[in-house]
Amino acid sequence: MREEELSDLTDEQLLKKVKKSKSSAIWDALIIGFMIGIVIYSAVENTLGFLTLIPLYFIYKMVKSSKNDDALKQVLKDRGLV
């Protein structure tokens, strides 16, 4: 979500988004760790192949989506809610 869209939300809605993003960050970390394990296992057992790249793509997408939380943190900081 862009910072312009976040600035239109009320304080309560922003705090709900923060609470949701904290719990999703834990799940994202667990899933990323699991996928890294798959990549390492695949590289050890076989070689780096196409099926090894699939988890790497999903890891990239999850990390990129977590970077979007920076805009939320900035809006919270501007409003003094943090």
The CA-CA-CA angle for residues 25, 31, 37, to 5°, reads: 135
Predicted pLDDT of residue 62: 83
pLDDT of residue 54: 85
**pTM score:** 0.63
Placement of tokens 């709900």 in the chain: 16
Each residue of 23-65: pLDDT tens digit?
788 888 899 899 899 888 888 887 777 777 888 888 888 888 7
Q: Is the pLDDT of residue 3 over 70?
A: no
